[in-house]
């Protein structure tokens, strides 16, 4: 049993520094580090490196030779304990459009009602900084770190981490670790910690229908095929009438759930479904899913989602054309051990077999899933650290619903991974008015410090079988 006073000075220091740290997060969030803004990405990368240097970390900026356009991987290592934990983070952010839905501009951070509002306030700048603050305050108030901490901060997470493997390949030592922390972690609206043992993979692809050589005067619609109609017809074959995926082979390669995974899913509180219904103001889920069945599907079923659709004229006023081309961007969240190529093949086969061989399937992004067994001791450490701070029992999850680049970091060494932190469903991650509760920044900092001790004290941290 750990000395209960061990964290007294640490906790006092967090209180004392929280307002300065919040300002620091606001400063970090001023970089509009979206995929399309190389200058802001570079600014955010440099800021990250500088911040890790100020922490006392050995900092390296890893780049791909001859590929100056690829945002660098910022690496910061600190501590000399016998075990190493990789902290997998990112300095890029999701696009902030549509700007008109923000109460204040996304890159002019603002504090309102105890929350900091800005793109990146939670995802991921507001999840990275509390981990840095935890190390800073640990060193100041407790002493030497009990383990080695390696920050891996990339700049392409929100667009699929396309170069993360190649960046990590620059130095094989970067993947060498006993454990990894996923970029953030959550608390429910009732302050219960949620610990997830992994994340889903993702495939992003585009369906393109081209019907005529170029946009035509719409009076010719009596004889010319319309690309938007063609695409809509192809899409209509891919879901059942009540919204469930209807693509044969979408689940190719899905590994059957283990007993420990089923146990975790069986114990998951159904209240989460009510939270989702309330937050997004729906009464029924697709396919009439509900209860335990919905929870199981959220964990083990691949998704099939339309991200966006575009064709023809969508400006103000009207323009009487018959469009020549129509596009739909789809994403598919996959689970272990699905191979993205096999899933993409299934979509191609579906489209062709339904008479839409002319509709092109263009893969744009693919990442595999990486799950750690939910009863792994690393998750026990994360749960104990969280419970010590929020005094509520932990809810475990086999996987978070979203995608994180853990396969790239962990699979080669079978490194176990877990989430850890204090993000919430209502923080509007990826949406307008993204925000973080300032008291949650402190909570995440408290949890991260305790995790370092819990991790270092584990009897064993076995690799994933
Ligand atoms: Zn993120």
Q: How far does the centroid of ligand 1 lie from the alpha carbon of residue 76, in Å?
A: 18
Q: How far does the centroid of ligand 1 lie from the alpha carbon of residue 230, in Å?
A: 35
Under a CB-based contact definition with an 8 Å cutoff, are residues 387 and 394 in contact?
yes
| Those residues with Cβ within 8 angstroms of residue 249's Cβ, 6 or more apart along the chain or in another chain | 342, 343, 345, 346, 349, 350
Tell me: the pLDDT tens digits for 352-405? 999 999 999 999 999 999 999 999 999 999 999 999 999 999 999 999 878 899
Under a CB-based contact definition with an 8 Å cutoff, are residues 427 and 434 in contact?
yes
Q: How far does the centroid of ligand 1 lie from the alpha carbon of residue 406, in Å?
A: 12
Q: How far does the centroid of ligand 1 lie from the alpha carbon of residue 358, in Å?
A: 36
d(CA 189, CA 17): 25
Supply the pLDDT for residue 375: 94
d(CA 148, CA 163): 25
Helix (H/G/I), strand (E/B), else coil: 297? helix
Q: Quote the radius of gyration of the chain (alpha carbons, Å).
A: 23
| Those residues with Cβ within 8 angstroms of residue 37's Cβ, 6 or more apart along the chain or in another chain | none
Q: How far does the centroid of ligand 1 lie from the alpha carbon of residue 416, in Å?
A: 19
Backbone φ/ψ region at 82: left (φ over 0), alpha (ψ -120 to 50), beta: alpha
Q: How far does the centroid of ligand 1 lie from the alpha carbon of residue 432, in Å?
A: 15
Q: Residue 233 gets which letter from DSSP?
A: H
- Can you list the positions of beta strands (E) in 239-334? 305-311, 321-322, 325-334
Q: How far does the centroid of ligand 1 lie from the alpha carbon of residue 229, in Å?
A: 35
Three-state SS for 18-61 is: HHHHHHHHHHHCCCCCECCCHHHHHHHHHHHHHHHHHHCCEEEE
Supply the pLDDT for residue 212: 98
Q: How far does the centroid of ligand 1 lie from the alpha carbon of residue 151, in Å?
A: 14
Supply the pLDDT for residue 160: 86
Supply the pLDDT for residue 401: 79
Closest alpha carbon to 169 in 96, 73, 238: 73
Q: What is the mean pLDDT of each run of 10 residues along the chain (465 residues)?
A: 82 98 98 97 98 98 94 98 97 96 97 97 98 98 98 95 96 97 92 94 97 97 97 98 96 94 90 91 96 92 96 94 98 96 98 98 96 96 98 93 93 97 90 96 98 98 95
Residues with CB under 5 Å of ion ligand 1 are 123-124
| Residue 351 phi, psi dihedral angles, 5° rounding | -60, -45
Q: How far does the centroid of ligand 1 lie from the alpha carbon of residue 210, in Å?
A: 35
Q: How far does the centroid of ligand 1 lie from the alpha carbon of residue 127, in Å?
A: 9
Q: How far does the centroid of ligand 1 lie from the alpha carbon of residue 379, in Å?
A: 20
Backbone φ/ψ region at 116: left (φ over 0), alpha (ψ -120 to 50), beta: beta
Q: How far does the centroid of ligand 1 lie from the alpha carbon of residue 451, in Å?
A: 20
Q: How far does the centroid of ligand 1 lie from the alpha carbon of residue 184, in Å?
A: 8
Got the DSSP string for 67-107?
-TTSPPEEEEEE---SSEEEEEEE--B-----GGG-SS-TT
Q: How far does the centroid of ligand 1 lie from the alpha carbon of residue 439, in Å?
A: 20
Supply the pLDDT for residue 461: 98
Q: How far does the centroid of ligand 1 lie from the alpha carbon of residue 47, in Å?
A: 18
Q: How far does the centroid of ligand 1 lie from the alpha carbon of residue 376, in Å?
A: 24
Q: Is 25 exposed, middle or buried (0-12, 13-18, 19+ CB in 10 A)?
A: buried
Q: How far does the centroid of ligand 1 lie from the alpha carbon of residue 88, in Å?
A: 10
Q: How far does the centroid of ligand 1 lie from the alpha carbon of residue 157, in Å?
A: 7
Q: How far does the centroid of ligand 1 lie from the alpha carbon of residue 260, in Å?
A: 27
Q: How far does the centroid of ligand 1 lie from the alpha carbon of residue 349, in Å?
A: 32
Q: How far does the centroid of ligand 1 lie from the alpha carbon of residue 97, in Å?
A: 17
Supply the pLDDT for residue 3: 73
d(CA 64, CA 44): 18
Under a CB-based contact definition with an 8 Å cutoff, are residues 266 and 257 in contact?
no
Q: How far does the centroid of ligand 1 lie from the alpha carbon of residue 83, in Å?
A: 25
Classify strands 360-367 and 201-210 as parallel, antiparallel or unpaired. Answer: antiparallel
Supply the pLDDT for residue 2: 63
Closest alpha carbon to 93 in 123, 50, 114, 49: 123
C-alpha distances in Å from residue 194, one per residue of 23, 143, 190? 27, 29, 11
Q: How far does the centroid of ligand 1 lie from the alpha carbon of residue 175, in Å?
A: 20
Q: How far does the centroid of ligand 1 lie from the alpha carbon of residue 94, in Å?
A: 8
Supply the pLDDT for residue 4: 67
C-alpha distances in Å from residue 127, one per residue of 94, 95, 201, 378, 407? 15, 18, 21, 19, 20
Tell me: the pLDDT tens digits for 248-267? 999 999 999 999 999 999 98
């Amino acid at each position: 049993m750990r000395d209960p006073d061990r964290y007294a000075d640490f906790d006092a220091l967090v209180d004392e520094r929280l307002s300065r740290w919040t300002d620091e997060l606001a400063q970090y969030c001023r970089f509009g580090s979206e995929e399309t803004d190389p200058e802001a990405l570079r600014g955010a990368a440099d800021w990250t490196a500088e911040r890790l240097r100020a922490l006392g970390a050995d900092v390296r900026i890893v780049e791909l030779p001859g590929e100056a356009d690829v945002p660098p991987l910022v690496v910061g290592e600190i501590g000399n304990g016998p075990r190493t934990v990789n902290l997998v983070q990112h300095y890029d952010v999701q696009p902030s459009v549509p700007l008109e839905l923000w109460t204040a501009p996304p890159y002019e951070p603002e504090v309102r009602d105890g929350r900091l509002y800005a793109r990146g306030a939670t995802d991921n700048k507001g999840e990275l900084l509390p981990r840095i603050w935890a190390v800073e305050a640990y060193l100041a108030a407790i002493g030497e770190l009990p383990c080695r901490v390696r920050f891996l901060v990339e700049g392409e997470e929100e667009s699929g981490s396309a170069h993360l493997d190649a960046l990590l390949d620059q130095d094989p030592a970067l993947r060498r670790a006993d454990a990894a922390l996923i970029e953030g972690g959550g608390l429910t609206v009732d302050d219960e910690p949620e610990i997830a043992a992994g994340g889903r993979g993702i495939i992003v692809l585009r369906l393109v229908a081209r019907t005529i050589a170029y946009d035509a005067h719409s009076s010719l619609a009596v004889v010319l095929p319309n690309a938007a109609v063609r695409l809509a017809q192809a899409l209509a074959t891919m879901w059942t009438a009540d919204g469930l995926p209807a693509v044969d082979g979408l689940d190719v390669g899905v590994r059957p759930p283990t007993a420990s995974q089923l146990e975790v899913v069986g114990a998951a509180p159904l209240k989460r479904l009510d939270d989702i219904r309330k937050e997004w103001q729906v009464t029924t889920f697709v396919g009439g899913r509900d209860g335990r069945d919905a929870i199981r599907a959220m964990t083990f079923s691949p998704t099939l989602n339309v991200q966006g659709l575009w064709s023809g004229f969508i400006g103000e006023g009207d323009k009487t054309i018959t469009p020549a081309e129509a596009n739909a961007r789809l994403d598919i969240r996959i689970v272990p051990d699905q191979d993205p190529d096999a899933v993409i093949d299934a979509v191609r086969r579906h489209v062709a077999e339904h008479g839409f061989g002319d509709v092109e399937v263009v893969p744009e992004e693919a990442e595999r899933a990486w799950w750690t067994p939910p009863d792994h001791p690393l998750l026990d450490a994360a749960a104990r650290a969280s419970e010590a701070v929020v005094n509520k029992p932990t809810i475990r999850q086999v996987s978070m619903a979203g995608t994180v680049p853990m396969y790239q970091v962990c699979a080669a060494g079978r490194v176990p991974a877990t989430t850890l932190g204090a993000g919430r469903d209502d923080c509007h991650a990826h949406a307008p008015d993204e925000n973080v509760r300032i008291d949650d920044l402190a909570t995440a900092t408290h949890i991260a410090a305790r995790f370092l001790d819990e991790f270092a004290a584990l009897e064993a941290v076995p690799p994933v079988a």
